[in-house]
Amino acid sequence: MSEFVTLTIDGKEVKAPVGSTVLEAAKSAGINIPTLCFLKDINEIGACRMCIVDVGARSFQAACMYPVSEGLKVITNSPKIRETRRVTLELILSSHEKKCLSCVRSLNCELQKLAQDLKIHDIRFEGELQHYPIDDLSPSIVRDPNKCVLCRRCVSVCKNVQTVSAIETIDRGYNTIVASPFHMPLKDTPCVNCGQCIVACPVGALREKNSTEKVWEALSNKDLHVVVQTAPAVRAAIGEEFGYPIGTPVTGKMVAALKKLGFAKVFDTDTAADLTILEEGTELVDRIKNNGKLPLITSCSPGWIKFCEHNFPDMLDNLSTCKSPQNMFGAVLKSYYAKKIGIDPSKIFVVSVMPCTAKKFEAERPELASTGYPDIDEVITTRELAEMIKESGIDFKNLGDEIFDDPMGEATGAGVIFGATGGVMEAALRSVPYLLTGKDDDNVDINVVRGVDGIKEAEVEIAGVKIKAAVAHGLGNARKLIDKVRAGEAEYHFIEIMACPGGCVCGGGQPIQPASVRNEMDLRAERAKALYQEDQSLTLRRSHHNPYVLKMYEEYFEKPGGHKSHELLHTHYVARENYPEDNC
Amino acid sequence: MSCGCCKADNKSEELDKIIAKYKDSRGALIPVLHEAQELYGYLPMSVQKKVAKGLNVSLADVYGVVTFYTQFSLNPKGKYKINVCLGTACYVKGAGQIYDKIAEILKIKSGECTPDGIFSLDACRCVGACGLAPVIMINEDVYGRLAVDDIPGIIQKYFDMEAEAV
């Protein structure tokens, strides 16, 4: 039981737990204090001064940091407070590049919203505009410092949540800028392309490297057979872009929209997720039986893979050699599928829709072209797909439901839950008994690996073999877990790691929810619900029951872990320097 | 094959010692950077990388601190370090023009060093000699109550000293 104090906010008596802030206490009393830099659990530093309140001190205090105390009297709204906030905001706006009409965040900009809320009709100060170069050299992320308001949310999520620290606040005073060390382009830093900075940014200073034009171009090329695959997490969130409540699965409408956009076939990445489980499960069983390198660590998350290559080069042999589902699917499409439909793989153009910005980087990895062609030709994020749907005038809400195309349309519930933290582990544990003994056990719902705890552990006994598993999401948690393993403090057989907190459902390519939403609800749990709901509704919930995957093995790949699989569905990793060598 | 600045020098060992001295104490970064700068005269990328690795902090952290504090320099300093005070008193007495004149003569900006390594230029905040405003310092020498026209002569004096030394 935590202790409470009583304070007065705007004349109203409020009880609040000791250690909470004035901002939280006000919220609980139904009083909204404007904020800009504040993002719950990520950035609580009082930098922007929008949330200033009168606590009877010599100067106004930032409510997001000021602790409650017994008898404290707070005023959140007075002419002087309103004027001070307005001046502060006008100063921020005075040096902000106000190209709002053509900004990627127009209508979803927290600065714009604040300017409206605080009734800024005229900016009295004419600030000097800095003209910084835009860094668009990364395949995943574009940084435009001219729009940055120095809230530092991106710095905080990169440094404290992900422990990547590719960017920092550089220089001081008027020259302050968020940048990489020595102003290097992001692509030359240990940035893992997770895009958590993009979804944390209140304005348009960070965005994904947009690939929609290249997709449009392919779609209008008559010589190409353009197919698309969508990852599980996309269906759980794209509805948000069209006004659906968070956590509404819109699979049928999404498929319908993709068909309207002109894709020849619309496939479900989940099918490849099932394939991944069979390959990875077989790899796990093989490593356990034959004293192979353990723990086996999942390789689905390209953000995690690059993080591992930078930070834990000694653990590369622990990574599953399986390609991610995205790339497995690409390889299948350009080999098995090409053969089946009789189209030369050079004429097949594979687009994938991903909740992820790191997938763009993954698609460019040169070693992932085992068919002789790149597995994936273009990657667009959930946001970019929504953009294309809007651009083409499709009335998303009034679309009828359609289903994924054959021959790879069917996926199991196991493939669907890949999009949430713990999902890959759960899917694997649903199949491992079969791979180990040839029989299924009774466990389908493995609740212990679900939920938003940073690190989850499970121990299951299968046919006399005890399998110890761990799940981590968010790279800070991954670092903690791997450090424990390296120090010999923990032993596991199997580890699932997702770079983004919550897993793919909260990936860096997902619809951007403003702080006002993220401060109030756990997006990770809400979006995951949509996936578990779909899993529950399916009859087939174990990957090895997927008839299409079985058929693929029968007709082409022979068996999981077989020669052909190794050639097309597996890969290898490289140790990476954190920064390029000095050029002298 | 190399320009010489990254040669495995004995300074590198010295830097290791500095890092080892502070490694386990809280707030080690700033004292390490101070001593590293004393050792090298400035803080190039290679030194910052080594400090980051040694103290187990990110290069971004190190670079953020180095660029925040004006004492830390990313560029080598000249034999003669010119500091132009741009504090309030000096500024209102025309330090801006003094600074511009020096920059014009030496063709360098604040934080930079002439290619021959003789002069470096920095703009600094109040040096505590407001009564003498506007003030510049060249190494430990203070020049006060300056006018723009005094500048060429002062700089010439150091050029002459250099010429004599050769």
Query: The domain spanning residue A20 has which CATH number?
Result: 3.10.20.740
Contacts of A465 (CB under 8 A, 6+ apart): A288, A436
DSSP A286-344: HHHHTT-SSSEE----HHHHHHHHHH-GGGGGGB--BPPHHHHHHHHIIIIIHHHHT--
**Helices within A182-316 (DSSP H only):** 196-200, 212-219, 232-235, 251-261, 269-289, 302-311
Q: A169–B64: do the CB atoms touch at under 8 Å?
A: yes
Tell me which residue of A419, A413, A448, A447 sits closest to A431, measured CA to CA.
Answer: A413
Domain of A333 in residue numbering reads as: 212-569
Same-domain status, A271 and A200: no
Same-domain status, A342 and A480: yes
Same-domain status, A426 and A385: yes
User: Is the separation of the CB atoms in A440 and A434 below 8 Å?
Assistant: yes
| B contact test, residue of A174, A581, A582 with most B CBs within 10 A | A582
User: What pLDDT, on the 0 to 100 scale, is given for residue A583?
Assistant: 46
Dist. CA A43–CA A524, nearest whole Å:
18
Domain count, chain A: 3
* Residue A578: inside a domain: no
Q: A181–B68: do the CB atoms touch at under 8 Å?
A: no
- Is residue A91 exposed (0-12), middle (13-18) or buried (19+ Cβ within 10 Å)? middle
Q: Could you say which of A171, A192, A208 is where a domain stops?
A: A208
User: What pLDDT, on the 0 to 100 scale, is given for residue A181?
Assistant: 96
- At B136, is the pLDDT very low, low, confident or very high (cuts 50, 70, 90)? very high
Interface predicted TM-score of the whole assembly (ipTM), two decimals: 0.90
- In chain B, the N- to C-terminal Cα span, in Å, equals 29
Each of the 584 residues of chain A gets a pLDDT tens digit; together they read 569 999 999 999 999 999 999 999 999 999 999 999 999 999 999 999 999 999 999 999 999 999 999 999 999 999 999 999 999 999 999 999 999 999 999 999 999 999 999 999 999 998 888 899 999 999 999 999 999 999 999 999 999 999 999 999 999 998 999 999 999 999 999 999 999 999 999 999 999 999 999 999 999 999 999 999 999 999 999 999 999 999 999 999 999 999 999 999 999 999 999 999 999 999 999 999 999 999 999 999 999 999 999 999 999 999 999 999 999 999 999 999 999 999 999 999 999 999 999 999 999 999 998 899 999 999 999 999 999 999 999 999 999 999 999 866 678 999 999 999 999 999 999 999 999 888 888 888 988 899 999 999 999 888 888 999 999 999 999 999 999 999 999 999 999 999 999 999 999 999 999 999 999 999 999 999 999 999 999 999 999 999 999 999 999 999 999 999 999 999 999 999 888 765 44
User: What pLDDT, on the 0 to 100 scale, is given for residue A462?
Assistant: 84
Same-domain status, A258 and A378: yes
Order the strands of the A73-74 sheet from edge to edge: A12-17, A4-9, A73-74
Q: Which residue of chain A has the CA closest to B4? A: A584
pLDDT tens profile B43-99:
999 999 999 999 999 999 999 999 999 889 998 889 999 999 999 999 999 999 999
pLDDT tens profile B7-28:
556 889 999 999 999 998 989 9
- Classify A138 as helix, strand or coil: coil
Residue A410 belongs to domain with CATH number: 3.40.50.1780
* Residue A13: inside a domain: yes
* Contact list, A165 vs chain B (CB under 8 Å): 58-61
A554 touches chain B (CB under 8 A): no
Q: Distance, in angstroms, between A583 CA and closest chain B CA?
A: 9
User: Is the separation of the CB atoms in B6 and B46 below 8 Å?
Assistant: yes
User: What pLDDT, on the 0 to 100 scale, is given for residue A52?
Assistant: 97
- The model's pTM: 0.92
User: Is the separation of the CB atoms in B47 and B82 below 8 Å?
Assistant: no
- From B46, B48, B58, residue closest to A165, measured CB to CB: B58
* Residue A576: inside a domain: no
* Contact list, A152 vs chain B (CB under 8 Å): none
Same-domain status, A346 and A383: yes
Same-domain status, A155 and A281: no
* Residue A340: inside a domain: yes
Q: A171–B45: do the CB atoms touch at under 8 Å?
A: no
B58 touches chain A (CB under 8 A): yes
Dist. CA A495–CA A105, nearest whole Å:
37
* Residue A110: inside a domain: yes
Same-domain status, A41 and A188: no
Same-domain status, A53 and A104: no
* Contact list, B59 vs chain A (CB under 8 Å): 165, 181, 578-579
A95 touches chain B (CB under 8 A): no
* Residue A84: inside a domain: no
A311 touches chain B (CB under 8 A): no
* Residue A581: inside a domain: no
Identity of residue B165 = A
Distances (CA, A) of B158 to A452, B80, B95, B151: 67, 8, 20, 11
- From A170, A172, A582, residue closest to B45, measured CB to CB: A582
Q: B60–A166: do the CB atoms touch at under 8 Å?
A: yes
Place of tokens 């900006």: B109
* Residue A579: inside a domain: no
Same-domain status, A97 and A188: yes
**Domains with residue ranges and CATH for chain B:** 10-68 (no CATH), 80-165 (3.40.30.10)
Q: How many CA atoms lie within 13 A of A418 on its CB side?
A: 32
B120 touches chain A (CB under 8 A): no
Q: B59–A169: do the CB atoms touch at under 8 Å?
A: no
Q: A168–B58: do the CB atoms touch at under 8 Å?
A: yes
Q: Could you say which of A208, A231, A246 is where a domain stops?
A: A208
User: Is the separation of the CB atoms in A167 and A197 below 8 Å?
Assistant: yes
Dist. CA A325–CA A269, nearest whole Å:
6
* Contact list, B63 vs chain A (CB under 8 Å): 168, 170, 181-182
Same-domain status, A55 and A174: no
Tokens representing residue B148 in the block = 């723009």
Distances (CA, A) of A299 to A276, A304, A324, A326, A573: 10, 8, 6, 11, 10
User: What pLDDT, on the 0 to 100 scale, is given for residue B2?
Assistant: 38
Q: Show which residues of A are catalytic.
A: 280, 283, 300, 320, 359, 362, 367, 504
- Classify A147 as helix, strand or coil: helix
Same-domain status, A204 and A327: no
User: What pLDDT, on the 0 to 100 scale, is given for residue B144?
Assistant: 95
- Angle (CA) B42-B45-B50 rounded to 5° is 95
User: Is the separation of the CB atoms in A195 and A142 below 8 Å?
Assistant: no
A182 touches chain B (CB under 8 A): yes
- Angle (CA) A581-A191-A457 rounded to 5° is 125
Give the mean model confidence (pLDDT) for residues B155-164. 91
Phi/psi at A81 (nearest 5 deg)?
Answer: -65, -45
Q: Cis ω on the peptide bond leading into residue A232 (within 30° of 0)?
A: no
Residue A196 belongs to domain with CATH number: 3.30.70.20
Q: Could you say which of A48, A77, A106 is where a domain stops?
A: A77
Tell me which residue of A38, A524, A479 sits closest to A236, measured CA to CA.
Answer: A524
Same-domain status, A104 and A44: no
| A contact test, residue of B63, B72, B109, B125 with most A CBs within 10 A | B63
* Contact list, A182 vs chain B (CB under 8 Å): 45, 63
Tokens representing residue A75 in the block = 């005023």
A160 touches chain B (CB under 8 A): no
Dist. CA A477–CA A472, nearest whole Å:
6
